[in-house]
Amino acid sequence: MIPSRRSVLRGAAAASVPLISGVCSERAFASTAAGSHGSGGGPGGARSTLGPNVIVFDPSMSNASIQAKVDAVFAIQESNQFGDERFALAFLPGTYTVDINVGFYTHVLGLGASPSDVVINGHVTVDAQWFEGNGTQNFWRAAENLTIVPPDGLERWAVAQAAPMRRVHIKGNITLWPSPPGNRWSSGGFLADSVVDGYVESGSQQQWLSRNDTFGSWNGSNWNMVFVGTQGAPTQSFPAPPYTTVDRTPVIREKPFLTVDRHGSYQVFVPALRTNSTGTTWAAGPAKGHTVPLARFHVATPGDSAATINRALSSGKHLLFTPGIYDISAPLRVNRPGTVVLGLGLTTLRSTHGNTVIEVADVPGVTLAGLLFEAASHHTPVLLRVGDGCGRGRRRHESDPTVLFDIVARIGGAIPGGAGISVQIDSDDVILDHLWLWRADHGLDGTVGWTVNPADSGIVVNGDRVTAYGLFVEHYQKYEVLWQGEHGRTYFFQNEHPYDVPTQTAWRHGSTLGYAAYKVGDHVRDHRAWGLGSYCFFNLNADIYTDCAYEVPDTPGVVFTDLMTVCLNGAGGGGILHAIDKAGDPVQNGFATYFMKSYANGAAGA
């Protein structure tokens, strides 16, 4: 990414939030909407069923009133990067003429069975004018299950990390960079199970993963553009342009989503598992899967204790988190096969006592989706753990895998805190579908620094046959990815080394300078990865180096395809000395990029 993306936000600049009626809070917004169908109505009553910060719209409301509420949320959330407010804007089946600007911690979702059930005649936009046209900090937002008909033919989704778009049909074109004026940088992103009738213009997007989409065409590239199971994707051409194209998605099921049935009752649809797939689940007819009535969920609201939530889980309930911040003082234990844990509005779960936030047993078919895990104590050994089996004690789950969708970890930025490992996978056959694991490089005063928000590793994978689509891991202080299970597969990796290394002595182990961003365990004999990018920007002018970005055992079964490194140090010193192990040219002492088509058995391939 480009260094000015990481311009540190300090004090009032970071906390500046527009007001509604002179008060800035979720409760204040709910009160301004009181009496409307959007706040208190909807199936079962949005206020009583889903909380005050899920705002439900239906087509009987006037477009003007919907626009006013949508604009009011955006006024709060446009630049509210580290604020406490969380919102979900939910649309009942119907057609709406409205323009939706999507700010921080805002989740826009259609409540139909198909994207065609909710039609937005307008835009669903992420832009960057709040940050002078720089979209590289457009984090923490989402849109899903909609048809978008932009009146000018052009949708704009200029995002960075943790801003997924899923299950949408864009009847027109889409651009992935901000509107002028400004520098127009952007850095993301993730699109899945979606159709774009026209073209996708990547513009300044530095990296991107498209999975199980259908495009009219794709235009442009920067460093690392990956397409898996996508119809209309560009042909494989890495590195000129840097397109990595994998024809089929080996195994996936799509993210569950909230919907309403024909009687107006809420339910959650859980899509079926697919293998060797291309394109979307829904374009050729209704998606395969099953529904779970909301009555079978514990609907959590901020203030629910870990004990309350665990009682619900142990009684056989699924779990739906309504938007907000949850202080979790003991692990939430998911022990029942097939449990769905679904967050709305970028639900944030904070570890307050050094505890794991969620522990998933070694059982099949669990879903975790739409959750932001945050360290709120000095040291949390593991924020999220999946599985409790080690070695031969683990079970096979290939016919009904556990899947993690849109999982975010944040160490620092909003609050000070530290962690050992953000995500640990100890089960076999787990699927990871879009994770951003972030040790903050910028944030509110007192929340960022080498000893203020320490964190060792973003993810440690001990399970076998784990598959990752869209693995974003940044700024951790040791191995950012440590993969120790066999038969692992990664499709798209994006990484930045820690910016704030104070001295080379502080960042080395033995005689090795720094840590690899992606380390495959020395004992592993089978591992494959496609489309990887690792960048460095050491911002303390301390002349910092790392020996390599990727570290793997020298064995024929470990193969990396289409990998790259980037140095963004400007005029400063430091850099990455090798791309993988001892292979690949250095990127150092300024701006530089290096591309490698393949690496296996200790040698780079042409």
pLDDT in tens, 512-528: 999 999 999 999 999 99
Q: Which element (helix H / strand E) includes 292?
A: strand 289-293
Residue 13: how many other CB atoms lie within 10 Å? 12
pLDDT at 206 over 60: yes
Q: Please give the pLDDT value at position 571.
A: 67
pLDDT at 39 over 80: no
pLDDT at 28 over 80: no
Of the residues 26, 78, 85, 496, only one is catalytic, namely 496
Buried residues in 61-88 as b, exposed as e (16+ CB within 10 A): bebeebbebbebbbbbbbbbbbbebbbb
How do 591-600 and 603-605 pair as beta strands? antiparallel
* Strand ranges across the sheet with 587-588: 332-334, 358-360, 380-386, 419-425, 455-461, 481-483, 518-520, 545-551, 575-580, 587-588
- Read off the pTM: 0.93
CA pseudo-torsion sign 485, 486, 492, 497? positive
DSSP-derived secondary structure for 179-201: PSSS---B---EEES-EEEEEEE
- Average pLDDT across the chain, whole number: 91
The per-residue pLDDT for range 348-371, each reduced to its tens digit, is: 999 999 999 999 999 999 999 999
pLDDT at 268 over 80: yes
The per-residue pLDDT for range 399-431, each reduced to its tens digit, is: 999 999 999 999 999 999 999 999 999 999 999
d(CA 588, CA 428): 39
Residue 583: how many other CB atoms lie within 10 Å? 14
pLDDT band at 390 (very low <50, low <70, confident <90, very high): low
The per-residue pLDDT for range 130-188, each reduced to its tens digit, is: 999 999 999 999 999 999 999 999 999 999 999 999 999 999 999 999 999 888 899 98
132 is catalytic: no
The per-residue pLDDT for range 47-93, each reduced to its tens digit, is: 347 988 999 999 999 999 999 999 999 999 999 999 999 999 999 99
pLDDT band at 532 (very low <50, low <70, confident <90, very high): very high
Q: Please give the pLDDT value at position 388.
A: 85
Asked if residues 566 and 587 have their Cβ atoms less than 8 Å apart, the reply is yes
How do 87-91 and 207-211 pair as beta strands? unpaired
Quick one: tokens of 414?
């909003």
Quick one: tokens of 394?
């683990």
Closest CA to 167 of 87, 111, 225: 111
Q: Which element (helix H / strand E) includes 11?
A: helix 11-15
Asked if residues 448 and 442 have their Cβ atoms less than 8 Å apart, the reply is yes
d(CA 290, CA 273): 11
Buried residues in 33-52 as b, exposed as e (16+ CB within 10 A): beebbbbbbbbbebbebbbb
d(CA 135, CA 142): 15
Buried residues in 221-249 as b, exposed as e (16+ CB within 10 A): bbbbbbbbbbebbbeeebbeebbbbbeeb
